Amino acid sequence: MSARKERERSRAALLHVADRTGIVEFAQSLLALDFELVATGPTATALRQAQAPHQTVSEFVGERLPADALGLLHPKLISAVTEEKARVDLVAVNLYPLSEATSDPALSQDEVLAYVDPVGPALLRAAARNFKNVITLCDPDDYQQAVETLKAYDRMLPDRRQILAAKAFHYCAYYDSTVAQYLGGQWDKLPDEVVVALKKSADLRYGENPHQSGAFYTLSGARPWGLNAATLHFGRPLAYGHYLDLETAWELVTAFPEPACAIVKHAVPAGFAHAEDLARAARRAYAGDPRGCFRGTAAVNREVGADAAQFFAEEFVSCIAAPEFSPKALQILKAKKDIRLVTLPSRLIAANELDLRAVAGGMLVQEKDQRPFVGELKTASKRPATSRESTGLIVAWQTAMHCRTHAAVIARGTAAIGIGSGQTSRMDAVRLAMVKSQERHPILAAGEPLVLASDGALTAEHLHAAADGGVTAVMHPGGAAEDNDVADAADRRGMALVATGVRHFRH
């Protein structure tokens, strides 16, 4: 005997949707399948205009209920959805896209919260909890498949019902997290539970490699900031690697008040400099490691004018990020093949932002490392750093902070000229920085002192290696058992040694 002949009553479908895409067609298909429709609010209005027969919630439960959506929380209706012999066989509910409201700076908090639906998520959860008896739909894209399945078999298999139920729970979790992220989180310590709502912003051609799929997701509920506020003005869409490079490059250049340029490749700084104007900063940054900067991503902290644009037009960078581009700069750069021009409005890091790293079976969570210094700098040597050495040390330190551990950076003047990053030993990082600096420093900022910064604590051996390469001042975190030996080595070599009291490992 068919399921249709076995049925003791007419099936009922509850429709309550904010996104009314396809809802009239879906309702008409359900009517053709002998469903009775229950609808409320704008959904009922749409059905009435389409002359699709339906009941109100009051008619369905047999009681006069409030005209607004709160009537959907009536115990009789919830029971009709949740009981084992459910009187409602299908629930189609979707919610207003809150991320649109939360990202609108013109809306006040009260206006945004007025968009929060207190009813829809409860109905979805109730239906999804009872998925063995109730088909749960939260996505208009699922309407057609549901109709075709019911037409062909007059029922839906439990596995498919479970998939739709899981989708509904994810949908509700995303919705709730959007509200939570909008209201913000102030934590004295890392919370016991962390839920992050992400919304796909762009599909990427691939991930890090062509065989990996990739996409860019934005944090839902937050005002546009960081990379989700980036505007592509020219060129092909950003690739996976561009996003990684932009984060590093933008955070580095926005740490400086002077006109600055950072060029990053594979999420590691290849060149950095600041100068009296942006064109000079860009030239010095690129000259710090021309091979490393080739096809890199550049970020600057000033509007790109004609002079800076002319320099970038002569060299090969794949992407340039800036607060603005002048009309003349755009004209110059748009003539260049295979370049992307991006504007970013502000620093990327937001207060209380968490750093999430996926590992097998879970996530590592930590606070973002966003403080270059903690407290006062300490001179650990007898000789303090000169003003010119201090300028170079700040450049080297900020650059090392954005490198991969172990990292050592050598600077001369206001430019990084030797970057050793991602080494398995600190001595290798120091030696790599020395080798690369010796290729560059004869032609960069002649007469300026050579200085070195390390993201972790140095030993006397490291200090002697740096001194042998002509380094006159060093900045490192300190705080290790070898600190006294390091200070003695600095004094014997006539070097200035500055301890920051904070390390900046980045893996």
Per-residue pLDDT at 268: 96
Is position 466 within any domain?
A: yes
Contact criterion met (CB below 8 Å) for 450 and 437 = yes
- Residues 73 and 155 occupy one common structural domain: yes
pLDDT at residue 1, rounded to an integer:
41
Same domain? 387 vs 281: no
Say if 332 falls within a structural domain. Answer: yes
Say whether both 269 and 413 belong to one domain. no
252 is a domain residue: yes
* Structure-token match 């020395």, residue found: 434
Write down which residue in 304, 322, 341 finishes a domain: 341
Helix (H) or strand (E) holding 279: helix 278-287
Fill in the amino acid letter for 406.
H
* Residues 87 and 137 both lie in one domain: yes
Give the residue from 182, 214, 249 where a domain finishes.
Answer: 182
Task: Supply the pTM of this predicted model.
Answer: 0.85
351 in any annotated domain: no
> Which portions of the chain are predicted below pLDDT 50?
1-2, 5, 442-443
Rounded to an integer, what distance in angstroms lies between the CA atom of residue 480 and that of residue 502?
Answer: 11
What residue spans of 33-183 are helical by DSSP H?
41-49, 57-61, 75-82, 98-102, 109-113, 120-129, 143-153, 158-183
Which alpha helices (H) appear in 33-142, and where do they start and end?
A: 41-49, 57-61, 75-82, 98-102, 109-113, 120-129
Q: How far, in Å, CA of 22 to CA of 193, rounded?
A: 37
Q: Do residue 46 and residue 174 come from a single domain?
A: yes
pLDDT given at position 69 = 65
Domain that holds residue 281: 226-341
Question: What number of residues does the chain have?
Answer: 507
What is the model's pLDDT at position 224? 66
Residue 25: per-residue pLDDT: 96
Reference 456, options 421, 485, 489, 432; nearest CA is: 421
Q: Is residue 353 part of a domain?
A: no
Same domain, 243 and 103: no
Q: Of 182, 213, 244, which residue constitutes the final position of a domain? A: 182
Same domain (yes/no): 329, 375 = no
* Co-location of 313 and 405 in the same domain: no
Question: In this structure, is the dihedral angle defined by the CA atoms of residues 376, 381, 387 and 391, taken in order, positive or negative?
Answer: negative
User: 336 and 430: one domain?
Assistant: no
The answer to whether position 469 is within a domain reads yes
Backbone angles phi, psi at 174, to 5 degrees: -60, -45
Same domain, 402 and 447: yes
Q: Does 138 lie in the same domain as 48? A: yes
Check residue 374 and give its pLDDT.
Answer: 80
Residue given tokens 């004018």 in the structure block: 305
Question: d(Cα 418, Cα 246) in Å, to the nearest integer?
Answer: 21
Q: Write the CATH number for 406.
A: 3.40.140.20
What is the Rg, in whole angstroms, of the alpha carbon atoms belonging to the chain?
Answer: 30
Ramachandran angles phi, psi of 430, nearest 5° = -65, -45
The two tokens of residue 172 are: 């509700």
Cα separation, 135 vs 146, in Å, equals 9
Which residues, 6+ apart, have CB-to-CB distance to 294 below 8 Å?
315, 316
Q: Which residue in this structure is represented by tokens 């799929």? A: 213
Tell whether 1 is covered by a domain.
Answer: no
For the chain, how many structural domains are there in total? 3
Q: Tell me whether residue 451 is in a domain.
A: yes
Same domain flag for 174 and 237: no
